[in-house]
Amino acid sequence: MTGLIPLLALLTVGLACGFLRAPLRAWTAASTVALLLATLYGGASWVTLGLTWLAFGAIAVVLNHRPLRMRLLSQPMLETYQRIAPQLSETERVALEAGTVGWEGELFSGAPRWGKLLAQPAPQLSSEEKAFLEGPVAEVCALLNDWEITHERNDLPPQVWDFLKRHRFFGMIIPKQYGGLGFSAHAHSAVLQRLAGISTTASSTVAVPNSLGPAELLLHYGTEEQKNHYLPRLADGREIPCFGLTNPWAGSDATSIPDFGVVCRQLVDGKEVLGLRLSFEKRYITLAPVATVIGLAFRMLDPERLLGDQEDIGITLALVPRATPGLEIGRRHLPLNIPFQNGPVSGKDMFVPLDCLIGGRAYAGQGWRMLVECLSVGRAISLPSSATGSVRMAAIATGAYARIRKQFGMSIGRFEGVEEALARIGGLSYAVSAVSRMTATAVDQGEKPAVPSAIAKYHATELGRAIIQDAMDVHGGKAAILGPRNYLGRAWQGAPVGITVEGANILTRNMIVFGQGAVRCHPYVLKLMRAAALADPQRRIDEFDRTVFGHVGFAVSNACRAFVYGITHSRVGSAPADPYTRKFYRKLSRYSAALALVADISMLLLGGKLKQKERLSARLGDVLAYLYIGSAMLKRFEDQGRPELDRPLLAWAMYECVYRMQQALDGVLRNFPVRPVSWLLRALVFPIGRRETTPGDRLGHRVATLLMYPNEARDRLAEFCFLTPTAFNPIGQMNAALAAVIEAEPVERKVAKAIRAGTIGAPTADAQLIEAVQYGVIDEAELALLQRTRAEIAEIIAVDDFETADLVAGRRAESGRPALRSAA
């Protein structure tokens, strides 16, 4: 046994140095001291000590002497790397070079610096932004009758369109110098959340002009002439924009669009004009039916070489007025009864001058790069914010309904099956709102968050779909019957729309999150690719040596960190000082190290084949995504002052995130094609097995309870929701009634007790209340309270019915009965 002491000493020192990320020379010095002590006091034989010193010395000399290391190790590694490294397509290269790396890079490091995250300022609305949210946004929310929009008109009413234009809702991202509102991304997100909680059609209508489209592209790439002409008109609604990218034959594979424009000369008003003859077919284009200016993506060709020597110039973007001869705006699409304006656009041999190119001739052929750079900003806000607004309202509505609706003599929210659904709704809503908040904040900090925007888009819409599903189940028949009183049905119907647009979720999860994240966020992968591509041989080997051994040290450190965190079940390691959240920071640090380790080994052994192993890539992307979501929740908790009442929401969502990360990594290891490596990785990542569990029942009970009564945690979850009890806002009406219903519960129990005791024997509810007053069970004030709350409850649980003729789309109900009770 004593013969193993030198080896154990070296392993212990290596494990400690790896966990602490000590530099190579520090490891060499510490290992030398440890081996010396083992020699003096360990009792091992001189043969064992001699062999150990010889092996250690050889390794230490080679690693620390760069010229020797470069000749013996780095040069062969470079030659091998050049053979197996995946070749990036031009599309992938542009996508990787677009955008910036923020906190997601820390998560890929294996040792996130939590102080860096917590030092970022909390997002705040300016006084002007708050006034807009409480003024024009609240006013338009009061105007929105979603049943009228989705069933009777299949469009926003004219007065709503006018209101949106007049108050510059379409110019939130346009700077004030061009007549826009110049709002922050946080304010932009808040507006969309409030609108989405009332009408998905309205939020989609406002989101598109402020997302990937003409305004965003003009701000970044437009000529001064284009900016000065279009931006003021887009800001005040004189121009309504749309952008055409998707072709029937090229959806997610946008770089393969068959739409083209051929450079040519044509007489226009007697003058020869250099321009393009465009032929294109676009579909799924939001706002196209009402757009006055259409953005187009197409492949630009110059067969006569009128602009230079290049014949295939590449994807190019243009801005075309609706009145352009040959432009055809097709009939409308109807996306799952969410009737935001959407439809096809086409043209054949349509001539436009080169002045229509966004950015002018200088940006011809740069369209894909322009789109990718702008997409990361727009995608970070539009869909995550709309999904967040919907899930916030669903959580508030379902919690209130579960308290108000009674069966078997008690609130349905007290049944454990309903509690389970409420816990998911509360915990996942907390997660969705946190990730939406953090991603919008990243935009305000100057980031172009390519990877976080994909994470936010995918998980906000997917978790949103799960939340709406649970909300529907809790409401039962109330949610299944469409009509003015139904506030969930359209959100449930429309959930797949958000999942499909701006990059289908299957593609986003399987190919983008990890596919881009592994290269963009990894501290060494992109550097290795660049080093191996250097033209100068000496500089190439020098940079490659420095980078590859930095990468080796990084991988060894992550293996040590993953093992130590795993074997201690995340009970060691530095973390911010709050005792309650420390365990969560450590768990995220553990899975950060595990992700970095498994990702490194996957890229090393599978190389370019990893792109085809989409399920492995998707699971690794899930780990990165849940690390990001967990970070967002902890950041939100800190920014809001660590509110004690929010702890159940945070804890439920964190345990769920950690469990999902564990399952995703387990899925990678179970399906890893190189089985011996899979066994080794499992020993490092899960040395004591899979110990993470889903949130417990008691924690779920606490989350469900928070949703069912007025409190500060519930108010924070409802941030930006429009809960004013206006005529067309049944959730606002229900929320306003909740406190009175709770106040009436003890009185209801007194009446129920008297009925069971035989004190009250009247057959009808009204007569029972009269007897309750007569026999002194309740007093007059309590009678008034019960009568008022029972009337409110009756309205809350009511569903709509129609004459058959009234169900004809576009026809108004003629029954004379108001769709909803008056706000008064």
User: What does the alpha-carbon distance between residue 381 and residue 172 come to, in Å, rounded to a whole number?
Assistant: 12
With beta carbons less than 8 A apart as the criterion, state whether 527 and 547 touch: yes
- Residues near 483 by Cβ (< 8 Å), separated by ≥ 6? 147, 799, 800, 801, 802, 819
User: What does the alpha-carbon distance between residue 324 and residue 399 come to, in Å, rounded to a whole number?
Assistant: 52
Task: Please state the three-class secondary structure of 286-328 as a single string.
Answer: ECHHHCCEEEEEEEEECCCCCCCCCCEEEEEEEEEECCCCCEE
With beta carbons less than 8 A apart as the criterion, state whether 587 and 615 touch: no
Judge whether 272 counts as a catalytic residue.
Answer: no
Q: H helices within 119-157, ranges in order?
A: 127-132, 138-143, 146-147
φ/ψ (deg, to 5) at 309: -90, -10
φ/ψ (deg, to 5) at 791: -65, -40
With beta carbons less than 8 A apart as the criterion, state whether 511 and 617 touch: yes
With beta carbons less than 8 A apart as the criterion, state whether 19 and 564 touch: yes
* DSSP reduced 3-state for 280: strand
User: What does the alpha-carbon distance between residue 293 and residue 539 come to, in Å, rounded to a whole number?
Assistant: 51
User: What does the alpha-carbon distance between residue 381 and residue 443 come to, in Å, rounded to a whole number?
Assistant: 9
**Active-site hit among 281, 419, 502, 792:** 502
Q: Which residue reads 């809503």 in tokens? A: 429
With beta carbons less than 8 A apart as the criterion, state whether 545 and 69 touch: yes
With beta carbons less than 8 A apart as the criterion, state whether 471 and 425 touch: yes
Q: Which string of b and e fits 195-204 if b means at least 16 CB within 10 Å?
A: bbbbbbbbbb
From 4, 14, 111, 19, select the one nearest 63 (Cα to Cα). 14
User: What does the alpha-carbon distance between residue 491 and residue 488 come to, in Å, rounded to a whole number?
Assistant: 5
Q: Residue 100 pairs with which residues in a beta bridge?
A: 449
- Helix-helix angle 367-404:90-97, to 10 degrees: 60
- Taking CB atoms within 8 Å and a gap of at least 24, the contacts of 159-166 are 160/202, 163/136, 163/139, 164/140, 164/205, 164/206, 164/237, 165/236, 165/237, 165/238, 166/236, 166/237
Rg (C-alpha) for the chain, rounded Å, is 31
With beta carbons less than 8 A apart as the criterion, state whether 520 and 101 touch: yes
What's the token pair of residue 94? 């542009």
- Taking CB atoms within 8 Å and a gap of at least 24, the contacts of 323-326 are 324/350, 324/352, 325/350, 325/351, 326/350, 326/351
User: What does the alpha-carbon distance between residue 759 and residue 774 come to, in Å, rounded to a whole number?
Assistant: 11
φ/ψ (deg, to 5) at 244: -100, 110
Provide DSSP, 411-462: EGGGSHHHHHHHHHHHHHHHHHHHHHHHHHHHHHTT--BHHHHHHHHHHHHH
Task: Show which residues are catalytic.
Answer: 502
